[in-house]
Structure 1
């Protein structure tokens, strides 16, 4: 029988930590501890070796979350998911330099937590199976209400939803076309369609999902976004026009 994934919660707001612990237990994970300080977390990791650490960035005490993770990573290669109520650029960039598997902004929904953990497990299992952690393994994205975190060159990269132009199917892959970059994900367009917030996105063809706010032109059989003509399926055109009328 497979052992449950062991997760350490490092969070100094005890009400939040207890709530997270309850959610994780209900999802079938084993919580190895709830710890409010970075120094104690370092000791706990040595003794219990959890599979994942949920780390609040703004810890009180001598070490904040990012400093704690840096020290942890000197001895252990444990996937980190950051929790933060204040994702300003400075903190985000400091945290990003430690190569976390995901970020969760507080207050967060249960689904955000569930997906972040699933994404992380997916990634470290892919690393184990591949046997080469330096290999760039495209993994399912982690989707929040205003952004998507995607795996790109061994890092989690934040892509703002407002910057996504359209998403294109390539067999079992999806290619996100944003304003300045492209990201290839191991995920079908159908799965992507189910996960994306539908107030921003709509599927217009079996091979394309578009960002409604990026449409420049709607023609009889295609849509234009950033000078790209995207085919428009007859069966999906009516829904698109209805959606555009309600915006």
Structure 2
């Protein structure tokens, strides 16, 4: 990441927020704002998305810190570091459900905050480098034939039979293929791989899932079951799925 890491501070104790901002600026980070309310943070992020969100859990206003993060995560993927003066199990478990990068209890030392942000920054750099390296390999890492696909796995091209594929799950710009034996990570979007897969075998059932029709064990109101995995079924895809199942 060549540009300075951008950090948004959401903290309603302005003296604490100002001290944090000064510390981060001194360390070379770019503070995009100091905001006391969760509702204001959501608006700010839509206009100026940060790399890291420094979020106080006990915010005043309509939304506390955890509720604010949940709203933000509906539209954005941002690393979150929680700050809290209340580190009991209930707060921790509710915060943990939003998959934060770190959790710091107040009062904290400057070094605690500095190290937490450095760790998150390193994670961001590692993820960015991995994505660039994978994208440089190109989409030629995957070859799809009528009865099988070849995918790059541990520096080799591995054959995966179509009939052995259970389902495919989207992970941002990647897809993870779940077969009967192994898992394979592809540098392709779910949309791209959906177009290339043989249509008679596969169908999209959710924005994040494509499934092998022959592997479906159960169809429920809002999900399907393949093996022991319950996969969400969107209303928009359900009608087409039921039509296709009638032809099997």
| TM-score in terms of structure 1 length | 0.52
Which is greater in Rg?
Answer: 2
Using a 3 Å threshold, how does the CA distance of structure 1 residues 27 and 133 change in structure 2: closer, same or farther?
A: farther
Shift in Å, 1:106: 0.8
Residue of structure 2 in register with 1:102 after alignment: 102
Give distance in 2, aligned partners of 1:88 and 1:21: 26
CA contact (8 A) 1:10 1:53 kept: yes
1:13-32 alignment runs, 5 A limit: 13-32=13-32
Give distance in 2, aligned partners of 1:2 and 1:123: 15
Shift in Å, 1:2: 2.3
CA contact (8 A) 1:10 1:41 kept: yes
Residue of structure 2 in register with 1:170 after alignment: none
1:75-86 alignment runs, 5 A limit: 75-86=75-86
Shift in Å, 1:12: 0.2
Say how many residue pairs are matched. Answer: 135
CA contact (8 A) 1:127 1:133 kept: no
Residue of structure 1 in register with 2:56 after alignment: 56
Shift in Å, 1:127: 2.1
Uncovered stretches (5+) of structure 2, i.e. residues with no partner: 135-170, 175-248
Uncovered stretches (5+) of structure 1, i.e. residues with no partner: 136-247
Instruction: Compute the RMSD of aligned alpha carbons.
Output: 1.9
Residue of structure 2 in register with 1:172 after alignment: none
Question: Helix, strand or coil for the counterpart of 2:100?
Answer: coil
| TM-score in terms of structure 2 length | 0.52
Give distance in 2, aligned partners of 1:94 and 1:127: 26
Residue of structure 2 in register with 1:193 after alignment: none
Shift in Å, 1:37: 0.2
